[in-house]
Amino acid sequence: MKIVLFCENQYAIDILLPLQEYVWEHKTPCHEVLWYIHAPKIQNFPLESSVEWTSSIQDVYDFSPEAIFVPGNIVPYYLPGVKIQVFHGYAAEKKDHWIIRHYFDTYFTQGPYFTSHFEALARQHGTFEVRETGWPKQDWIFKHLHDYDAQREKMLAQHGRSRIVLYAPTFSPKLSSLPHMKTALEQLLEQRDVVLLMKFHPLTRPDWAEEYKEWAKTQPHAVYVDKSENITTCQLMSDIMLSDTSSAVYEFLLLDRPVVTLRTIAKDIYWENIDEPSQLLSAFDHALNDGQSRQRRRWVVENYDPHLDGLVCERMIHQAEDYIRRHGVPSERKLNPWRKYTSIKTFGRIKRH
């Protein structure tokens, strides 16, 4: 099977890497992999020397893919291959998570909560299938869960602190806690025995990111993490996470670790949420010590993504092959003129064979 790993944004690389590793590890010559890297948005591709990749959508078309894995909202309709939505996270509260844009032949969902919702949408639209596989990034976490334990202990020893707190806000200006949290974070550093890691989304407003980067230089126990670094590494090293309305909240809960958010828009909250930054210290203490919090986290695991067995990519490959056995390789998606225009405007045109 000829596979394209389709990256429009930087975060897609870490999500899709486990699929590439699955092909490597199983030494399957029947699978050929090509990465598409959308150059306008992705300035640094860390795998450029180890994988086959291109920034040309014409190259992708000429490759004649049979399966295209996409952790984003759009993929060119004119590319051949079964177009597979694998999602960029677990943010069910964001409205665009449920919008059907008709670019995809099938949705590979993370867990029962998402499966039931997308199956209902599939019945409504009748133009795509839904299969529950889990999320590919969880395979990487499964393999590397304890790889950063030594780095964590070294950081704690260097700072003389007992816990690591990760601050990972969303990039959306309307939802981000960044304009409101600095004073509360200063109090947290002064009054609690913690190291503060700050890992911001690559699309965060540059002026906001720069402000916190400079602020971190004035705080002996604050560490600003470069936007190119993998947030999962920070999550694996941390004891508790601070955020707002970010899909990274659910990734952290799936590690069975506590979370505090500021003014999340989530309707169903399975963690500590505060309305004012001044409530951070009390919420921080409660999150660490509340016995019911762990029960709420277990619900998230069971419903959002119980597939933490390291076999997600195997299921995804098998489901893609099964789709092709049943339907053949799609040539292109039939879309309305507006969706076609959006696709061409984003990725350009190709010369057909």
Predicted local distance difference test score (pLDDT) of residue 228: 74
Split into its structural domains, the chain has a count of 2
pLDDT of residue 218: 96
Q: Residue 122: give the domain boundaries.
A: 2-135+309-347
Same domain, 152 and 298: yes
316 and 277 part of one domain: no
Q: How confident is the model at residue 163 (pLDDT cuts 50, 70, 90)?
A: very high
Task: Give the bridge partners for 68, in sequence order.
Answer: 4, 83
Phi/psi at 165 (5° precision): -110, 130
Residues 275 and 339 in one domain: no
Let me know whether 314 and 192 are in one domain. Answer: no
The answer to whether 323 touches 83, Cβ cutoff 8 Å, is no
Res 329: pLDDT: 97
Same domain membership, residue 73 and residue 59: yes
Check whether residue 98 and residue 220 sit in a common domain.
no
Q: Residue 29 above 80 pLDDT?
A: no
- Once rounded to an integer, what is the mean pLDDT over residues 233-260? 94
81 with 230, same domain: the answer is: no
pLDDT at 203 over 90: no
Decide: 120 and 96 in contact? Cβ < 8 Å.
no
Whether residue 162 sits in one domain with residue 121: no
Whether residue 142 lies inside any domain: the answer is no
Would you state the pLDDT for residue 169?
Answer: 96
For the ranges 99-108, 195-204, 225-234, the lowest mean pLDDT is seen at: 225-234
Residue 227 reports pLDDT greater than 90: no
Same domain, 220 and 238: yes
DSSP letter assigned to residue 277: G
At 51-90, the pLDDT tens digits run: 999 999 999 999 999 999 999 999 999 999 999 999 998 8
Average pLDDT over residues 97-124: 95
Q: What is the pLDDT of residue 189?
A: 98
The residues facing 273 across adjacent strands are 261
CATH code, domain carrying 314: 3.40.50
Longest Cα pair distance anywhere in the chain, in angstroms?
66
pLDDT at position 246: 86
Three-state secondary structure of 206-234: HHHHHHHHHHHCCCCCEEEECCCCCHHHH
Tell me the per-residue pLDDT of 37-60, one tens digit each, with 9 for 90 and over.
Answer: 999 899 889 999 999 999 999 999
Same domain membership, residue 300 and residue 153: yes
Query: In this model, does residue 178 exceed pLDDT 80?
Result: yes
Residue 87 is assigned to a structural domain of this protein = yes
| Residue pLDDT, tens place only, 290-337 | 888 888 889 999 999 999 999 999 999 999 999 999 999 999 899 999
Q: Give this prediction's pTM.
A: 0.85
Same domain, 25 and 87: yes
Per the structure block, which two tokens stand in for 177? 């806690």
CATH number for the domain spanning 256: value is: 3.40.50.12580
